[in-house]
Structure 1
């Protein structure tokens, strides 16, 4: 009995539940911190690093591209799973509250920052990313083919779906969402722009929402042995998928993503053993929104400034940069994004990050 009480207290502590404060799981915030770093790193690699004319005689740039691809089944599925975990309380609120605080908020932020991105990216026409170049293209990105800001668009859609079907048996919702993910990943649907991500990740948001107690228990009981097993399974599945070319096989990508999420949650929970690192990641994970919406214009402008000079360096100069450049630029982009965010808040531009109107204190959902 004493052992059971101890385990119960440990579970509550790892879940981040403290009296008088919203329920915030430290491991989940740390996982979000890792995810936003991986998002920025991936964009740095494919939109800047691989566009540089490297002439160093070794395939380091290609290695960075390959490494970045290995995190694709992890990054957004884990991000959406954590978003679903935090959405549990919000979905239970009345429609009028959900419509404003979640659906309306995310649609507002998506539309606002889509306009900002469109304007800023016009100043970097060679930056390789989706952008609207006409009124019709902008309308398409606002409605049926979301832009690089698709995470916000997806959250608005996912909250709508989750609220609408909240009374239905979970299996009747998870099964078609899983099928949609498998169909989209197999290329059996037309998925221009970022529609593929939209279709593939609903299942992970709903899984986080419906399976929150099990996910929190999985995190609270994470062990080194489980970390070794889940990481090994993830690596083996990635290798097998690459060897046999199974990326487009029906059901393979969602399966790999499930294993990746299990690994990601376990790793995030185990990070709690190193509070100096996990606390910093959790802090970053609580401010992912400004990084997400600001980092692409920052990266586009830095790309315009850096592409020519770095491409023009001699072999020695490039050799000094080629290995660590993505890490350095990722840190710079995140740092600049947070600085821009602070400056915008200092001039009372909170409306860039929150739906204008009466502010209410809400528990994390």
Structure 2
């Protein structure tokens, strides 16, 4: 995953920075930058027909890039899962559904002419309708989050260990049906549910890293070496090993986020985490435009450099689009209007990262 600031937030109201959990924003900032990087690098390399130095960075992050994002998305669910179904569905389903509808329409608007040129406008229209069954492009994450929220609440009567074991089995089963929602649910639910189930241990890990930074740095160095070696061996595709790499990487990102928060370094990453939904929803446009410009003009020959520039523009460009939208009073692009709330917003600050 969401207000104008956070992908995991779902209350849609802003809170002062002091009400947020600092390391969570840093961790989400790292995750959203890695997501933009993945799409940027692979898109450039596919279009160019060759790889660059950024491919190594994307491969290194592959085992934990999405596991960490989903784990953090489930981290604060224990605080709100006891809400009545009407409020819960409003915050956890309608909220993300609103952003999906708005942005799938925007993305499709940019891509429809190309689709129609290849087939017909009728087929392009059918593809748009299909996007509400088969998630479109980069938006599958917010398509899947509401499903995770609902499944987690529905399964509360079942022993948590049983749910966790089934989720772990689904991840290791490498289920491939061709339907994104089904395949990604099977591959990712274990991380979301673990964030929900083991939240106290995650916070304890962060507290320990904050209290013992030298030990945390040594653990991170060890993890980086092991992750690099196993990725080089292709272990991210192995059953069980991929699950272990996902959790290890998620713990590493949490630790890095905690250390950055402790030192007050890289505040831009924290800002990105606070506004991760802005970046997630809007990065596709500056990313695609910059990729097309650089590859067609050929002004930069290094594919790795092109990939890096596209990544940077994707992040900064999405934030620029957000600022333009605010100035044009198009807030509805990044903040759910009151008319689309089932349960009215409550006044006062909420723990934004928790929602």
Give the TM-score normalised by structure 2: 0.81
Q: State the match for 2:280 in structure 1.
A: 292
Q: State the match for 1:3 in structure 2.
A: none
SS of 1:354's equivalent?
Answer: coil
Q: State the match for 2:47 in structure 1.
A: 51
Deviation at 1:269, TM superposition (A): 1.1
Answer yes or no: is the 8 Å Cα contact 1:182–1:250 preserved in 2: yes
Q: State the match for 1:148 in structure 2.
A: 138
C-alpha separation between the residues in 1 aligned to 2:160 and 2:18? 25
Answer yes or no: is the 8 Å Cα contact 1:84–1:208 preserved in 2: yes
C-alpha separation between the residues in 2 aligned to 1:90 and 1:168? 18
1:356 to 337, 341, 344: 337
1:232-262 residue CA offsets vs partner (Å, 9 max, x unmatched):
235324523543x444432221121111111
Structure 1: give runs of 5+ residues left out of the alignment.
Answer: 1-19, 55-60, 126-131
C-alpha separation between the residues in 2 aligned to 1:25 and 1:231? 25
RMSD (Å), alpha carbons: 2.7
Q: State the match for 1:199 in structure 2.
A: 186
Deviation at 1:23, TM superposition (A): 5.2
SS of 2:131's equivalent?
Answer: helix
CA 1:136–1:176 in structure 2 vs 1: closer, same or farther (change >3 Å)? farther
Deviation at 1:86, TM superposition (A): 3.1
Report runs of 4+ in structure 1 exceeding 6 Å deviation.
Answer: none
Q: State the match for 1:38 in structure 2.
A: 34
2:323 to 328, 334, 342: 342
C-alpha separation between the residues in 1 aligned to 2:218 and 2:130? 44
1:255 to 244, 249, 261: 244
C-alpha separation between the residues in 2 aligned to 1:114 and 1:108? 10
CA 1:299–1:121 in structure 2 vs 1: closer, same or farther (change >3 Å)? farther
SS of 2:132's equivalent?
Answer: helix
C-alpha separation between the residues in 2 aligned to 1:241 and 1:324? 23
C-alpha separation between the residues in 2 aligned to 1:124 and 1:140? 17
1:9-44 residue CA offsets vs partner (Å, 9 max, x unmatched):
xxxxxxxxxxx9885321111000111111111111
Larger Cα-atom Rg = 1
Answer yes or no: is the 8 Å Cα contact 1:230–1:259 preserved in 2: no
C-alpha separation between the residues in 1 aligned to 2:40 and 2:304? 13
SS of 2:138's equivalent?
Answer: coil
Q: State the match for 1:82 in structure 2.
A: 72
CA 1:193–1:202 in structure 2 vs 1: closer, same or farther (change >3 Å)? closer
2:22 to 16, 21, 26: 26
1:185-234 residue CA offsets vs partner (Å, 9 max, x unmatched):
xxx43244565433211111111112111101101111332343344235
SS of 1:91's equivalent?
Answer: coil
Aligned residues: 323
Deviation at 1:171, TM superposition (A): 0.9
**Structure 1 range deviating more: 229-238 or 144-153:** 229-238
Q: State the match for 2:297 in structure 1.
A: 309
Q: Superposition pairs for residues 247-286 of structure 1, below 5 Å?
A: 247-277=236-266, 279-286=267-274
C-alpha separation between the residues in 2 aligned to 1:267 and 1:239? 20
Give the TM-score normalised by structure 1: 0.79
Deviation at 1:162, TM superposition (A): 1.6
C-alpha separation between the residues in 2 aligned to 1:124 and 1:337? 23
